[in-house]
Amino acid sequence: MPLLDLRGGSIRVDHLDFGRENFIRRATDTPVLEIVSNAVIITLPTSALTLATLTGTETLTNKTIDLASNTLIATSAQIAAAVTNETGSGLLVFATSPTLTTPVIGAATGTSLSLTGALAGGPSLTPGTGADGAETLDSGVWTNGTIIITRWLVDLTNLVGSTTDLDIIGESAAANCHFGQFTTAVNGVFTGGQVTCLEVPAGGVTDIDFYSATVSTGTENDLITGLTETALLTSGAAWGAGSTKGMTAAIPANDYLYIVNGAGGVPGTFTAGKFLIEIFGT
């Protein structure tokens, strides 16, 4: 029942109706106040000035939400969508031992590295168009501590050798017969190198030499000495399977690697001849 008590200086109502389905009322037999507007009810508990229930989309301005005492339910994708300066993409990482798929990691420090799969190397070296027809031609750059290791795995099969000592080996009459460029930025400063014969050459000369030159345009069947070159390793004899020989000269920065005849012979297309070329830099 409404009560208007002027003697006590107060007004108390159980139901205050503003019309058009807008009113304030006390919930039945409870000390709870309800504000009703068009059938939407906001409940105000008397024990605290907090909103018990919100429906729809609400905007909170200048409010601090303490997640230690409140629960936020959201997926990583939803949080990522709400963050504007995140690094990377996909799922957020909150674990001490997370599983990451194909991450890109810059300079990093650590105390140990445990691997269950292969460790990929750095960039591969791009061969010239006169050498990329080799049966196998793979390369990579690895860093171990301060040592930079550059490796080429070359199968001479399908490349052509000529009759003349120091002629460039490559695709028949093709230019750009180099096997990649050696740069300080990628390969470091030369400290040493070696070549290992994994399979004896066949189809061409078995005495194979390794040179570098300042240009990439060296052509098959042309003399390497016609370029500004450096003799890295001159075999002096036929290679044997498993034999390793050290380089006797440093490959200058920005030079291109070439493989040449180490002796005169019968011209022909190689059917075998695998070499592992390794250069160490810092």
* Number of structural domains the chain divides into: 2
Query: What's the sign of the alpha-carbon dihedral 103, 104, 107, 112?
Result: positive
Given a contact cutoff of 8 angstroms between Cβ atoms, the answer to whether 265 and 209 are in contact is no
Final residue before a domain boundary, out of 12, 37, 55: 55
Q: Is 53 left (phi over 0), alpha (psi -120 to 50) or beta?
A: beta
* Domain assignment present for 240: yes
| 141 and 47 both lie in a single domain | no
What size, in residues, is the chain? 282
Query: pLDDT tens string for the chain (282 positions)?
Result: 445 554 555 555 666 777 777 877 877 766 677 888 877 887 776 454 455 556 667 777 777 878 788 888 888 778 877 877 766 666 677 667 777 777 777 777 888 777 676 555 667 899 999 999 998 899 999 988 889 999 999 999 999 999 999 999 999 999 999 999 999 999 999 999 999 999 999 999 999 999 999 999 999 999 999 999 999 999 999 999 999 999 999 999 999 999 999 999 888 999 999 999 999 999
Range 44-76 burial, b when 16+ CB lie within 10 A, else e: beeeeeeeeeeeeeeeeeeeeeeeeeeeeeeee
Kindly state whether residues 158 and 51 are assigned to the same domain: no
112: in domain: no
Instruction: For 124, list phi and psi in degrees, rounded to 5.
Output: -85, 160
Answer yes or no: are the C-beta atoms of 244 and 194 closer than 8 Å. Answer: yes
CA distances from 193 to 86, 137, 254, 278 (A): 44, 18, 16, 5
Asked if 41 and 170 sit in the same domain, the reply is no
pTM of the predicted structure, to 2 decimals: 0.64
